[in-house]
Structure 1
Amino acid sequence: MSRRTFRGGALAGIALLLFALTSELYHITDVVGVGVSTTYILVAAGTVLAATVVARLLRPRAAFVLTLLILLGGFAAYFFSLPAGQRAVFSLDRVLADVVALLTGLSVLRLAQADVWALAATPAPVFFTWYLALRRRYVAAATVGGATLGLLVLTGDAGPLTTLAGVVGVAGAVALGTLEARGGVSAQLDTFAIVVAAMIIASASLSVVPGGAAQPLLPDTNTPTSEQNLVQSNDQVNIEGSIRLSPKVRFSVESAEPRYWRTGVYDRYTGSGWVRSESDTRAYDGRLESGPGDRRELTQRVTARTQLESLPAAADPVELRGSPANDALVTEQGTLRVGGSLRENESYTVVSELPQYTPEQLRRSGDDYPNDVSGRYLQLPDSTSDRLRERTANVTEGEENAYDKAVAIEEHLESTKEYSLTVEEPSGDVADTFLFEMEAGYCTYYASTMAVMLRSEGIPARMVTGYTPGQRVSQNEWVVRGLNAHAWVEVYFPEVGWVQFDPTPSSPRQSAEDVRLESARQSNESGVDTGNSSTGEWTPTPTDTPAETDANTTTTSTSADIDGPQAQQSGANASVPGGAVSGLGENQTFSPTTNTSGGTGEGDSGDGLPSRESIGVGLAALVGLAAGARRTGVSTRAYRSVWVRVQGRRQTPERDTERAFERLEYLLSRQYRPRRPGETPRRYLRSLSRLGLDERALSVGEAYERARYGSGVSRDEADSAIETVDALVRRSTPVLGRFRS
């Protein structure tokens, strides 16, 4: 095998590495930028072209200096793209803190102007990596490109497939580059193919970086719980495939009414999940600001029943009391976080201000959105499909305001999709896939799709995570379990603020939770109940006097107020499908969970075609097996075993006779010895006659001589030679198996 072939393979490895690197950075520009993804393609392609030209002109030292200048220029452009307020607080300590954060898991998607960061970060490593590869410095090229891709692995932005492609590219460039320098042979190429295939298969079931964001390609039997998927994700939520329920009690809430207990708000949709952009959090230092419009206070006392990492509270929290307030953190979206962790049986009190509105008020709210709301909560990836936008327009056709459009989308998803907890993880855009290709899903699918559809109509929306109210155990107390983890949507209305909508069907979700909880109780699992929660849902004593209500208050005076699809709601929000209490299903226990009961919607169970990841791993395994078979001679022996038994398609008598003799010669080489160089067919067969060669073989040799060197043979003579060899092969088959090629 020529050195040129190995050089081409080494360059192909570097090209694969650069493709993996740039595809992840391109994804960032696609998610964040508006039209920036096209610019990114031009920048990346121009950089490769420039490196190709410069590789012929500059020595490595000069190219290194040029790379540093490109890097400094790129990040100078990023710095000046930041808002003036952020540039004002720029310092070396802040830069170092950001670098450490990136190296320890801060997603690039959470950075301000992440699209500009991706554009700034591309030219320098791409230029120097391709320059070094063209100069035949493959190890150095792989080091530069691999280190840059490694940064994206550490930040969690590099997916498993691109990470694996980068690893294979590095291995290919180094190995084939070494073979080029030392003069490789085809056997070494087989060994390389075997090693790469083994790497791919191993990476399919193991994370590339332990503890990092990369996930196995092959199914994992330890599917995440709803809490791991949502509440414990903190700054990023990736849409998973199947997930499971955790029936353990997490906390209890004393409150005058049930609410959704919010823990996280996410603004940036990535196509595969959600990110809370901009990582700034501040220490809680007193009363927080609430949203616009009329508000009323709701006080909640939350007691942890296990260690908690978040501070669940009804939206919007404005005041925190108790020891957790000493080190609590506040995100830019106004959610509360624990500075350390909330210990078991530790309590805190939180005061929330609930928005007050009527459907008519929401219809009249208009679309005069604040700049910070429209700038952040209308973002969609550039790759968002036209068919999603068209479907949304059809669903909302005839609706003239944001409220009625939100209700239409909410009802469309509830009525057209089934609820299932066992689904295959989408390989493309989650909202698009769920809307057009999936029959069922759980809350993150519903919430993501509704938020994306709203944004496509120019309506600010965001995904919110937390817990549903839980099990009511007394008039003013609720027990909340892990299976109550949930995701829903908040929509912004001017002069009102963020209003809650929940497109996930409640009844099938509740059925799955009830079955899981009952199973846990029957199995005597620990931590499933606390206090009197094992006695079932609390029901107040009926009275003949109906509860009095106030126009600006939402109250819950009987179990019927929160149980069942016909929940009786009072107050200003009573008729609002997306209002503060509306959407609460039976028993108020909502969560995205794995269908362990098997009775909550069949949906997409993953029984269709295998995923692209599985196909890729399968192809890698086939390549590795083929290379191994070739390296060990198994493939040659298998081919020869078939070849010697089958004459093949008939051609001319002469060619058929020659083919028959070739088969005979191979057979004899296995039984006796190969024909020596310069030894004629006649001398070869006569020498074997003294060793017991079947006399019929001599007639085949004679026919071969006439066909090859004489006047030719007839069709009957050719057929006779073929039949003779077939008979000798059949008789010698047991012997053939003992010989190795």
Structure 2
Amino acid sequence: MSTETGPESVSQTADDESATASWLSPRRLALASAGTLVFSFVVALYEIIEVVGEPDAFLLVVGGSLVFATLLSRVLREEIAFVIGAVLLVGGIWSYASALGVDVFAMQDPIISDVMSLLTGLSVLRLEKIELWVLGVTPAPVFLTWYLAMRRRYVAAVVAGGATLTFFVLTGDVGTTIALFGVLGAAGTIGFGRLERFGGDHSTTDVLAVVLAAMVVLTVTVSVVPGGSGQPFQLFGKGGDRTIEASLMNSDQRLTIQGSIELSPKARFTVESDERAYWRVAAYNRYTGDGWVRSGSSQKYPGQLPNPPGRYETIEQRYVVESRLNAMPAAWRPVRVSETDNARVSALAGLRPATPFTAGDSYRVTSRRPAPTTAELEAAGDDYPEGLEDRYTQLPATIPDRVDERADRITADADTPYEAATRIEQHLEDNKAYSLDVERPDGNIADSFLFEMNEGYCTYYATTMATMLRTQDIPARFVTGYTPGEKTAEDEYVVRGLDSHAWVEVYFPEIGWVKFDPTPAGPRSDAEQQRLEEAGVSNDADIDIDDEDDDTDTPTDTPDRRTADTPTPAGPITPTSPPGWQSTTQSGDDRTTEPETTAPDREDGGLSLPEPPSREQLALALVVVAGLAAGVRRTGAAERAYRAVWLRWQPRSDPASDVERAFARLEYVLAREHRPRRPGETPRQYLAAIGADPRVEQVYDCYERARYAGETTEQVADRAVELVNEVVSDRVGPFGN
């Protein structure tokens, strides 16, 4: 069978190559890079809008902006396009500010506070009415970046898109992988744009590949905003962010659920109080799927805060800080603060210090704690204040339907929100084991804990309960703080890092926020006690552990195992207990316990294989490898390495080939030492010109006999190779170049 290669087939091959070159032209590559840059900040915006609602409207806005930019790039001058972009941006911010009831042009304090907060590392998710903000700001950067790229104004396109991406990096709303893609898109837009405009050979492509690889490495290793949401400050000394306390109290506006965690026995504060209570620190209203965000800004303490709407009791507290503390614990609900001017009030009515407290600082708080009866809770109904239900029943659009279905089944026989809350609380206590050693799931935390995990600690319990309540349209929020701690004297408690905790607050009309705690009290108390004993044995510094004596807190049983820090003067709250359940109290904790739930056995002893890299990681790794290869080629390192091996090592084949290669090696050494042999210059003329030594003349004799006389034997080849090896070793050296 024969194959002809005629003019038609040659022409077809040329056309194919031309088509391939067209598709990989610098223009197309520059536009693809600009699209990657747009994609990077659009992903950040998409993930934000996905947390608070359906993203359909957002996708329409993005698509419309791209189409608008493509069409106008053919007919619209750049000056007018910039005006359109500015109008889109100002109009979007104005519509958002109008929804908040503030004048954007007056530069009121809420706007200034929001802008400064965002630029110092706080998530965009903390903004109120975030869906309006996203829809308002999206069109301008998408339109301008793509319009400028279509107009071949690549540097200006990167400035517009890069500034937007940088903004979301500063707020902590862009992950490392997406930031990398954005950086690569920006570099590719400029690099391929220059190739399109000025042309270039493969060396230009090598430089671009090296730059892209360097950007990948720098983006991975350099933190842009230390102390932002992606890398929190360590405020609690040696405990670091591995302690449960640091993971809860380091988080001002945003809290991310962590994996395995530790307990810190260090004393944080002492409190004198006429009532035991949970010392509340912060509440969070916006669930992201992997953590919580508190929307709104904190304000200076106004001098008096409102009372809860229903029945309450008054609790007087005085706190003395034992070690640096960037929190302001107080029993819920604080209404008055004294003995300090360091207090601020969050948007959810919690207290925050304007600057961190240091050892010896003190303050007083008066709280009005809700004290409802069971009858009042059951009769509260679901007539919630305007806006409250929307704010505290928000769930990400990506939450699986099975969470809702499981909550429906658990609360099927509940007639009131109160009964639904107690059913969900009881379900989590009965079916999940307490453990600090857990592997953080990749997906939605509540879904993973409910269906895929056998055990967890307080943040997992509280997150899951709040999420399940929200699927039932019951307002709930995630709360952090400290349990009562160890009673050391009459009306005095010492609170340590290991007392840090997370629980849930549920809203009831005409009553207010009521505490629910789904974390099993017994196992948690055992873990705390074990950590105290370990600290006492190891003599950890700064630990004030007293021997157990008659002052150790052993409170009497309280009828409300959910809100034991809320005695009920008008009647007990006694949810129905399952058969065989026995109520006991724990020292240092005001929650009742049940028999410890044991997680099912897990398979151990098998070979643990590392997780395969993601497609994004593989793509970025290929960019780095390509950059390294281009850098090696650009610097000539590969050629030098090859030449060094070729010069010093000669594999043997047949005598004629062996003599030819030995002669080539010798001439390479002579060219380095003297000069290359000129065209038309015979070997003998070259030897006479450079004055070679006898060994070189012998190799030339071997070469001439093999080349012109055909007299080549094994002995001649062996002699030629041996002589060249000696010359290379003498003149170049075993490790020379």
Question: TM-score if structure 1 supplies the norm length?
Answer: 0.75
SS at match of 1:480: strand
Cα deviation, 1:401-459, whole Å, max 9, x if unaligned, reads: 21221122112222333333233443332222322333333222221111111011010
Against the structure 1 CA distance between its residues 415 and 507, is the aligned structure 2 distance closer, same or farther, given a 3 Å change threshold?
A: same
Q: Which moved more, 1:199-208 or 1:413-422?
A: 199-208
Cα distance, 1:262 vs structure 2: 0.3
Query: Is 2:25 the partner of 1:8?
Result: no
- The aligned counterpart of 1:258 is 276
Alignment equivalent of 1:173, drawn from 184, 189, 211: 189
1:198-597 superposed matches below 5 A:
198-215=214-231, 223-286=241-304, 288-321=305-338, 323-324=339-340, 326-529=341-544, 533-536=545-548, 539=551, 558=555, 572-573=571-572, 575-576=574-575, 586-588=586-588
Deviation at 1:538, TM superposition (A): 5.0
5, 21, 46: which one aligns with 1:26:
46
Q: Is residue 2:97 matched to residue 1:62? A: no
Larger deviation: 386-395 or 94-103?
A: 94-103
- RMSD value over aligned CA atoms? 4.5
Cα separation, partners in 2 of 1:266 and 1:577, compared to 1, 3 Å: farther
Counterpart selection for 2:177 from 144, 158, 161: 161
Q: C-alpha displacement at 1:236, in angstroms?
A: 1.9
Counterpart code for 2:297:
S
Residue by residue over 1:270-290, the C-alpha shift from the partner in whole angstroms, topping out at 9 and shown as x without a partner, is 22221221114242313x222
Letter paired with 1:178: R
- Residue type of the alignment partner of 2:31: L
Residue type of the partner of 1:621? A
Structure 2 residue matching 1:513: 3-state secondary structure? helix
Q: Deviation digits for residues 114-157 of structure 1, max 9, x if unmatched? A: 11111111111111111111222222211111111111222232
Q: 2:76 and 2:257 mapped to 1: Cα distance? A: 47
Aligned to 2:685: none
Instruction: Tell me, in whole angstroms, the C-alpha distance in 1 between the residues paired with 2:586 and 2:543.
Output: 20
**Which amino acid letter does the alignment assign opposite residue 319 of structure 2?**
V
Residues 258, 96 of structure 1: CA spacing in aligned structure 2 closer, same or farther, 3 A cutoff?
A: closer
Q: Percent identity?
A: 42
The counterpart of 1:104, out of the listed 113, 120, 126, is 120
Measured in 2, the distance between the counterparts of 1:425 and 1:258 equals: 33
Offset, 1:48: 0.8
- Of 48-57 and 242-251, more deviation after overlay is shown by 242-251
The residue number in structure 2 matching 1:628 is 628
Match for residue 59 of structure 2 among 20, 26, 41: 41
How far apart in 1 are the matches of 2:174 and 2:96? 21
Residue 350 of structure 1: how far off its partner (Å): 1.8
Aligned residue type for 1:116: L
Q: 1:62 offset after TM fit, Å?
A: 2.4
Code of the residue aligned with 1:207 in structure 2: it is S
- Residue deviations 1:338-377 (CA, integer Å, cap 9, x gap): 2334342233222222222233432222111111321311
Distance 2:657 2:71 in 1: 54
Corresponding position of 2:679: none
Counterpart amino acid of residue 575 in structure 1: T
Q: Is the 8 A contact 1:316 1:352 kept in 2?
A: yes
Aligned partner of 2:726 in structure 1 is: none
How far apart in 1 are the matches of 2:69 and 2:543? Answer: 62
CA distance in 2, matches of 1:266, 1:239: 13
User: Secondary structure of 1:309's match?
Assistant: coil
Find out whether 1:125 has 2:141 as its counterpart: yes
| Displacement after TM superposition at 1:460 (Å) | 0.5
Which residue does the alignment assign to 1:680? none
| Offset of residue 517 of structure 1 | 2.7
Displacement after TM superposition at 1:21 (Å): 0.6
Q: 2:254 touches 2:294 (CA, 8 Å); kept in 1?
A: yes
Unaligned 5+ segments in structure 1 are 541-555, 592-598, 640-661, 675-683, 698-737
C-alpha distance after superposition, 1:515-572 (max 9, x if no partner): 333333333222211xxx42137546xxxxxxxxxxxxxxx9746769999x999754
Q: How far apart in 2 are the matches of 1:309 and 1:257?
A: 24
- Find the aligned partners of 1:610 and 1:443 in 2 and give their Cα distance: 28
CA-CA distance at 1:481 after TM superposition? 0.9
1:587-634 CA deviation, whole Å, 9 max, x = no partner? 33699xxxxxxx999999999776687774465335523553476479
The total of aligned residue pairs comes to 636
- 38-47 or 70-79, which deviates more: 70-79
Residue 379 of structure 1: SS of its match in structure 2? coil
CA–CA separation in structure 2 for the residues paired with 1:474 and 1:577: 34
Specify whether residues 118 and 611 from structure 1 end up closer, same or farther in structure 2 by C-alpha distance, changes over 3 A only: farther
Task: Pick one of 156, 165, 174 that aligns with 1:149.
Answer: 165
Task: Measure the CA separation in 1 of the matches of 2:167 and 2:446.
Answer: 28
Q: Which moved more, 1:390-399 or 1:4-13?
A: 4-13
Contact 2:483-2:589 within 8 A present in 1 as well:
yes
Conserved? CA contact 1:537–1:587, under 8 Å = no
User: Structure 1 residues 267-276 or 188-197, which shifts more?
Assistant: 188-197
Unaligned runs of 5+ in 2: 1-19, 233-238, 592-597, 643-652, 666-703, 718-733
Q: Determine helix, strand or coil for the equivalent of 1:209.
A: coil
- Contact conserved, 2:191 with 2:208, CA < 8 A, in 1? yes
**Aligned partners of 2:191, 2:468: CA distance in 1, in Å?**
48
Instruction: Give the Cα separation in 2 of the matches to 1:663 and 1:29.
Output: 72
Equivalent position amino acid for 1:48 in 2: L
Structure 1 residues 622 and 305, CA, compared in 2 at 3 Å: closer, same or farther? Answer: same
Q: Distance in 1 between matches of 2:548 and 2:64?
A: 66
Distance 1:254 1:57, change over 3 A: same
Deviation digits for residues 289-334 of structure 1 (CA, Å, limit 9, x no counterpart): 221222112222221112333221111122223x21x342223322
Whole-angstrom CA distance in 2 between matches of 1:141 and 1:264:
42
Q: Distance in 1 between matches of 2:277 and 2:369?
A: 10
Q: Partner of 2:250: helix, strand, or coil?
A: helix
- TM-score by length of structure 2 reads 0.75
Q: Is the 8 A contact 2:323 2:358 kept in 1?
A: yes
Local SS of the residue matching 1:58: coil
Question: Which string of whole-angstrom CA distances, capped at 9 and with x for unpartnered residues, describes residues 373-403 of structure 1?
Answer: 2131111222222122112112222222212
* Paired residues of 1:374 and 1:460 also in contact (CA < 8 A): yes
Query: Closer, same or farther in 2 for the Cα pair 1:73/1:223, shift >3 Å?
Result: closer
Change beyond 3 A, Cα 1:569–1:487: closer
Could you give the per-residue CA deviations for residues 690-717 of structure 1, whole angstroms, max 9, x where no partner exists?
595889x9xxxxxxxxxxxxxxxxxxxx
